[in-house]
A and B are shown apart, each in its own frame.
Chain A
Amino acid sequence: DILMTQSPSTLSASVGDRVTITCRASQRISNWLAWYQQKPGKAPKLLIYKTSTLESGVPSRFSGSGSGTEFTLTINSLQPDDFATYYCQQYENYPCTFGPGTKLEMK
C-alpha cells in the first residue's frame, strides 16, 4: 500500500495569511492526488483533484501543486471559514490511502 504523510500535523495561522501544507507519498503517484477539507462533525469536502484541479465551487484562494511523490496545498489569504483539517489522498491505485491530516487552527 502507498503510505501518505503530511506536514505539519498542526498549523497555526491568522486570517489573511498564506499557508502551505505538504503531502508526501511513499512511491510515485504521478498526479493522482486529491485534497479534502473537514470541519468538526461534518463529512469531508473535496477541494482539489488530480493535484491541481479545483472542484466546482471551491474558492480560487485554494491551489494545489506537485508531482511524483511531493505535493502541496496552498491557501492564499486565509478566511475564517478555512480553519479546518485537511487531508490528502492518493488514487494512483487501490487501496486509495489518505494522509493523517493537517489541522489548521487560528493563531
Chain B
Amino acid sequence: DVQLLESGGGLVQPGGSLRLSCVPSGITFRNYAFSWIRQAPGKGLEWLSAISGSGGNTYYADSVRGRFTVSRDNSKNRLYLQMNNLRAEDTAVYFCAKDNMVASYWGQGTLVTVSS
C-alpha cells in the first residue's frame, strides 16, 4: 500500500520559516515525482510545487515562487518543502502527493498556521 506521511507543520509568525517533510512508503521513492498542494481553511485546492524523481527539475506556482523551495533526498526517501517569508495567506493544510501532475496518492496533510 502506498502511504505518504507529512510532518513539520505548526504555528509560525509572519515572515518566519518552516520546513515540511514527507515520507512515502510502499514505493521506490527515487522512481517518482512528487507534488505539494495546499488547502486554506474552508477553501479549495492549490497546487504549489513539483519535483522530478532525480530532483533535477522543479516547478512552482507563482504564489510561492521565490519563497518556497521543493527538494528531496533520495538516500533518505524524503521530500521537503522549505517555506520562507511566510504570510498569513499561507495558512493552510499542506499535502504531499505522489506524481508531479496527477496526484495519485495523497498524505493526510500537515497544518501550517501563520499568525502573530
Contact = CB atoms under 8 A, between A and B. Distances in A.
Nearest to B4: A43
Given A94-B59, A98-B46, A43 B102 contact: no
Contact of B102 (A1, A42, A49, A99): A49
Q: Which of A38, A44, A101 has the most CB of B within 10 A?
A: A44
Contacts of A91: 101-102
Nearest to A34: B102
A43 B59 CA distance: 22
Q: How large is the interface on A (under 10, 10 to 19, 20 to 34, 35 or more residues)?
A: 20 to 34
A46 B102 contact: yes
A71 to B, nearest CB: 14
A83 B47 CA distance: 24
Given A91-B101, A95-B62, A43 B44 contact: no
A97 interface: yes
Contacts of B101: 32, 91, 96
Nearest to A49: B102
A87 interface: yes
A99 B102 CA distance: 14
Nearest to A6: B44
Interface of A: 1, 32, 34, 36, 38, 42-46, 49, 55, 87, 89, 91, 94-101
6 contacts: A32-B101, A36-B103, A89-B102, A97-B47, A98-B47, A100-B44
